[in-house]
A = this chain, B = another copy of it.
Amino acid sequence: MLPALSRVAVCGGTHGNELSGVYLVHERLKRRKKSQVMEPVAVVTVMSNPRAVQRCVRYTETDLNRCFTHAILSASEQTSYELVRSQELNSLLGPKGSAEAMDLICDLHNTTANMGLCLITYSDSDWICLHICKYLQARAQHPRTDAMEIGPQPHGLIRANIFMAMQEAVQLLLDWVRLFNSGAQFEGGSVDVYTLVKNIDYPRDPHTHTIIAAVHPDLQDRDFCLLHPGDPMFLSFSGETLRYKGKEPLYPFFINESAYYEKAVALSLARRRKVEIPAIRSSRM
Contacts and interface: CB of A to CB of B under 8 A. Distances in A.
Interface stretch (A89-97, A157-165, A175-183, A184-192): A157-165
Given A23-B237, A237-B27, A237-B163, A211 B158 contact: yes
Nearest to A214: B160
Contacts of A256: 157-159
Contacts of A160: 214-217, 220, 235
Nearest to A213: B160
Contacts of A229: none
Contacts of A156: 155, 258-259, 261
Interface residues of A, number: 34
Contacts of A154: 112, 152, 154-155, 258
Counting chain B CB atoms within 10 Å of each CB, the highest count among A24, A220, A237, A258 belongs to A237
13 contacts: A23-B211, A23-B214, A56-B262, A112-B154, A155-B155, A155-B156, A155-B258, A157-B257, A159-B214, A159-B256, A160-B215, A161-B217, A163-B214
